[in-house]
Amino acid sequence: MSHSETERSFGPALRAARERRGLTQADVAAQLGVKRETISHWESGKHLPRPKQSARLDAALQTDGNLRALIDQAREGPTVSSTDDSSESVLEVFRRVQGAIESYLQLDAKGRPLGWCHNLQQGLAPTPVATAYGIRILHLIDETSISRLGDFAECLRRMQQPGGGWAIKSQSAPSPEATAGVIDALVRVDPGMDVSPYVDLMLTEIDEEARKRPAIVTWILETILDLRPDSPAVRGLIGEVLDLRKPSGRNRRVLWSQKAEPNLARPDPSPYHTARACAVLRRAGLVGAVPPDLAGRVDDALEIGVGWLQGLREVENTSEVFQRPGDGPPNSAFFRHFSASWVLRALLLCGVLPTHPTVSGTLGKVWSDFDDEHSLWRWSNGDLPIWMTFDGLATLRIAALAALPH
């Protein structure tokens, strides 16, 4: 990857500027008076600095206004084209979505927030994971909204299971994937909270069945990279993601399929699971969390995975059912996957140019699932799952950053 390609968005540019001056994330954090995790979030593209932080960051790294310019461009929002040849800035789309999401927020009789339900148009009782996605959407749109999102922390804590942890709406017991989603949201509304107990809880909830599912292992790894990239658990999880690759399809490429159980009959490679794994492994590299002894395996996995993803011409959404065995009540989960969203994110995060045919074609697919009337992303049957809108927004943000002039 060329130097100009690496620095065309703020996160990589920040990391490159820091490394050119021989500084660690902790060094920069100390100069700015923020936590090291904050620098990690900026470099991974999770958040953008506020205006005062932008100026101080530019001065600390002596980048002559270049970092501030990238941050300003990202906040203004480049134009992203939709499939009907019209165009809106990312900021305009985000504001439309913000209004729609806020209109579906459920309130109690005193006007206090209760949260969101999974399928927004159904109006059912709020769930912890759906509420977590609602928080993440609003925070993604406007990071200055932390103060008004404070009440949601109590909503999420009320939804906690008696023994700890959280469950997806169809589950009868806590699960690491649900807990991961909730603590990711909790730390956004309370950045100063001690997440260690929750991270420990999430790790203890991982069962052997979950370890066979790339979607769940990558979900957990992504959350820990956001919250504790220096956690000892990161190494083990990266190793598990790599081990979940299996020879897939007729050409026996070592990719990710939906599951990695024993005695499977030659599973087909999955665009969603391969893309999600590549995106998370790339993020691990961006925040410096890949152990040296795993770096070669990660590079090899990314080369094969991204190469395969670039050759895709059709990317369809998928679903999977995950049933955990046990003697108690059924503990199952039904997952639907916005495949195009993750394929596009993986390609752009791994340095594939926005002009690549698969990138532009996949962006068109992401747009085709946007419902203009509701200003939300919709599933093919007309459902409006809140998680799908988060995936859509997160993808547009990365696409917009990749489209910035360089």
pLDDT tens sequence for the chain (406 residues)? 333 333 347 788 888 889 888 898 988 988 888 888 888 878 876 677 877 788 888 888 988 777 877 776 665 555 555 544 445 677 888 989 999 999 999 988 988 889 999 999 988 999 999 999 999 999 888 865 555 666 788 888 889 988 788 988 777 788 899 999 999 999 888 888 888 888 898 999 898 989 999 999 999 999 999 988 989 999 999 999 999 998 876 667 899 999 988 888 878 899 999 999 999 999 999 999 999 999 999 999 999 999 999 999 889 999 998 888 766 666 778 899 999 999 999 999 999 998 899 998 999 999 999 998 999 999 999 999 999 999 999 999 999 888 765 5
Which superfamily does CATH assign the domain made up of 1-76 to? lambda repressor-like DNA-binding domains (1.10.260.40)
The pLDDT assigned to 151 comes to: 77
> What integer pLDDT is reported at residue 245 of this predicted model?
94
In this predicted structure, what is the pLDDT of residue 83? 43
Round the CA-based radius of gyration of the chain to a whole number and report it.
Answer: 20
Domain boundaries, the chain: 1-76, 86-205+378-406, 226-368
Residue 364's identity, in one-letter code, is G
